[in-house]
Amino acid sequence: MDNCIFCKIVKGDIPSKKLYEDDQVVAFYDVAPAAPVHVLVIPKEHVLESARAITSEHAALIAHIYEVIAKLADELHLDGGYRVVTNAGPDAGQTVMHLHFHLLGGKLGPMA
């Protein structure tokens, strides 16, 4: 989609520090980390603006995203645990309207 930062990252038009890619998803480091480890996992296709639009049609994609998150958490040695966040809509502070999941690890504070 034109003018979507994450679509531009998928295409390589905006550089990013990618750590995983397959036919469905891309994972890259967040440019403004909110935790010692802060990775974004996104579908390559601009299928949904946010988690609000998820239906059973997307079950396989969402399961795959969580599978990738678990694999990355292992590879990043987040052995003590991690947090997955998806902001949906303005009240949650969502700034990029391309579905994405924040993988947060390291020393995390309590949820705000």
CA 54 vs CA 24, 40, 47, 49, 57: distances in Å: 16, 18, 10, 9, 8
**Can you spell out the DSSP letters for 46-61?**
---SSGGG--GGGHHH
Quick check: 3 binds ligand 5GP (CB under 6 A)?
A: no
Using CB distances below 5 to 8 A depending on partner kind, what does residue 59 bind out of Zn ion, ligand 5GP, none? Answer: none
The contact pattern for ligand 5GP, residues 4-23, with x = CB under 6 A and - = no contact, is -x--------x-x-------
31 binds ligand 5GP (CB under 6 A): yes
- Residue closest to 30 by CA, chosen among 71, 90, 85, 110: 85
Does residue 95 belong to the site contacting ligand 5GP (CB under 6 A)?
yes
Spatial separation of the C-alpha atoms in residues 43 and 4, rounded to whole Å: 13
Contact 34, 43 (CB under 8 A): no
Residue with the shortest CB distance to Zn ion? 4
Instruction: Please list the active-site residues.
Output: 100
The footprint of ligand 5GP (CB under 6 A) covers: 5, 14, 16, 28-32, 40, 87, 93-96
The footprint of Zn ion (CB under 5 A) covers: 1, 4, 6-7, 46, 98
